[in-house]
């Protein structure tokens, strides 16, 4: 049954947000740190997949809010929305979209609107760690369950205690694995240009932190340049062009997004070099277009992301909570999802893995 909140309650919840809008203190976040062990990931994913397979449709058609940092801006976001809607339909829920379009202030307003409208539960993908933590506290204060996807919050590396669960992929550890996979292919030495997403975003921060950490493990690797390109192919083209002019010895490109990688590829060709050969190219995304590039040998690899599964499983965790009262604590790491385990067996999609991987965007 849905409950609408009075203006008095909404004012109290807003006051709670204002009291907690600063970044969480070391004390507040230390108690919420999660385990990222393989066992924890296996348990959370096993429970999620199990309910996705065996769970039944709700009898009372619960009303749930999908509060996301994006829903239409990129193909990735669009695939996530499809997954959320498909899961809601499967479990007999009425899903309402709130699309912040990467604006944390807009997401706060949407959270307040969702609280006022009265939903039975929330699937939440925060714009930023700090603002997401404050927004989640507002949602949590309603007493309704909140499942989180995609982006960690409250200073945690993945799962936040008190949420229904967390489904995602692009954590700092995921990017570390991606960089290690590329750097271990260096023959003698590598001179690298790395292209990231939005400067100042949490995603860029995790990507850059991982790059710096893994670089220290590989003394034979030189980072000639590492810059943001805002998931924009034209910006990536410009970044890589400048880097190749400044450092002609560059022989590896790392890109945090398949769309940007097409711009990087163009820059390599315009420099008279052969992508995939003279200059190795490693991307992140696992999109349909990227997989074709990997199959042709133009790119050396792309690391898979599963946007459809991410939201589908997030809704699944929320519906499990509403139906059975059970949380799915821990990190449901999508590298453990059937799409990977029963497919290529790894998130690293190379030419020999392409036939066993089905892109989700």
Model confidence, pTM:
0.88
Question: pLDDT confidence of 27, banded at 50, 70, 90?
Answer: very low
Task: Tell me: pLDDT of 241 over 50.
Answer: yes
Is residue 252 domain-resident? yes
Is residue 359 domain-resident? no
User: To the nearest whole percent, how much of the chain has pLDDT over 90?
Assistant: 85
Task: Tell me: pLDDT of 35 over 50.
Answer: no
Quote the pLDDT of residue 41: 59
Task: For residues 199-204, give the mean pLDDT.
Answer: 92
**pLDDT, tens digit, 9 for 90 and up, residues 219-240:** 999 999 999 999 999 999 999 9
| Same domain assignment for residues 147 and 53 | yes
Question: pLDDT confidence of 100, banded at 50, 70, 90?
Answer: very high
| Same domain assignment for residues 165 and 182 | no
Domain span holding position 202: 172-304
| Same domain assignment for residues 154 and 25 | yes
Please tell me the total count of domains within the chain. Answer: 2
**Secondary structure E strands in the chain:** 63-68, 94-99, 121-124, 146-149, 166-168, 190-196, 221-228, 252-255, 280-285, 301-304, 331-333, 348-349
Task: For residues 329-342, give the mean pLDDT.
Answer: 97
Task: Tell me: pLDDT of 1 over 60.
Answer: no
Question: pLDDT confidence of 57, banded at 50, 70, 90?
Answer: confident
Quote the pLDDT of residue 25: 29
| Same domain assignment for residues 315 and 249 | no
**Distance of alpha carbon 70 from alpha carbon 68, whole angstroms:** 5
Quote the pLDDT of residue 68: 98
Is residue 2 domain-resident? no
Quote the pLDDT of residue 70: 96
Can you give the CATH number for the domain in which 213 is found?
Answer: 3.40.50.2300
| Same domain assignment for residues 165 and 252 | no
Task: For residues 185-190, give the mean pLDDT.
Answer: 92
């Amino acid at each position: 049954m849905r409950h609408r909140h009075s203006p008095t309650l909404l004012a109290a919840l807003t006051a709670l947000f204002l009291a907690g809008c600063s970044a969480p203190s070391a004390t507040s976040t230390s108690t919420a740190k999660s385990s990222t062990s393989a066992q924890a990931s296996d348990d959370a994913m096993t429970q999620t997949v199990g309910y996705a397979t065996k769970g039944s449709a709700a009898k009372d058609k619960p009303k749930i809010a999908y509060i996301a940092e994006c829903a239409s801006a990129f193909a990735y976001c669009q695939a996530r929305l499809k997954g959320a809607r498909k899961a809601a339909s499967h479990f007999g829920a009425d899903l309402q979209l709130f699309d912040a379009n990467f604006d944390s202030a807009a997401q706060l307003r949407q959270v307040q609107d969702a609280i006022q409208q009265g939903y039975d539960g929330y699937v939440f993908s925060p714009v930023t760690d700090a603002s997401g933590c404050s927004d989640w506290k507002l949602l949590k204060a309603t007493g309704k369950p909140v499942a989180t996807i995609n982006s960690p919050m409250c200073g945690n590396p993945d799962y936040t205690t008190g949420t229904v669960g967390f489904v995602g992929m692009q954590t700092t550890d995921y990017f570390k694995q991606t960089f290690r996979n590329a750097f271990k292919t260096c023959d003698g030495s590598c001179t690298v240009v790395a292209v990231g997403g939005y400067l100042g975003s949490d995603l860029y921060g995790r990507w850059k932190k991982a790059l710096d950490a893994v670089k220290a493990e590989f003394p034979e690797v030189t980072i000639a340049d590492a810059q943001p390109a805002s998931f924009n192919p034209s910006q990536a083209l410009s970044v890589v062009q400048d880097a190749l002019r400044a450092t002609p010895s560059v022989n590896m490109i790392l890109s945090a997004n398949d769309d940007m990688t097409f711009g990087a590829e163009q820059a390599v060709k315009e420099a008279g070099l052969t992508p995939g050969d003279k200059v190795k190219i490693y991307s992140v995304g696992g999109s349909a277009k990227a997989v074709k590039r990997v199959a042709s040998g133009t790119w050396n690899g792309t690391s898979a992301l599963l946007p459809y599964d991410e939201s589908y499983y997030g809704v699944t965790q929320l519906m499990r909570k509403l139906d059975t009262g059970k949380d799915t604590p821990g990190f449901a790491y999508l590298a453990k999802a059937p799409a990977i385990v029963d497919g290529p067996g790894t998130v690293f999609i190379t030419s020999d893995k392409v036939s066993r991987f089905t892109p989700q965007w």
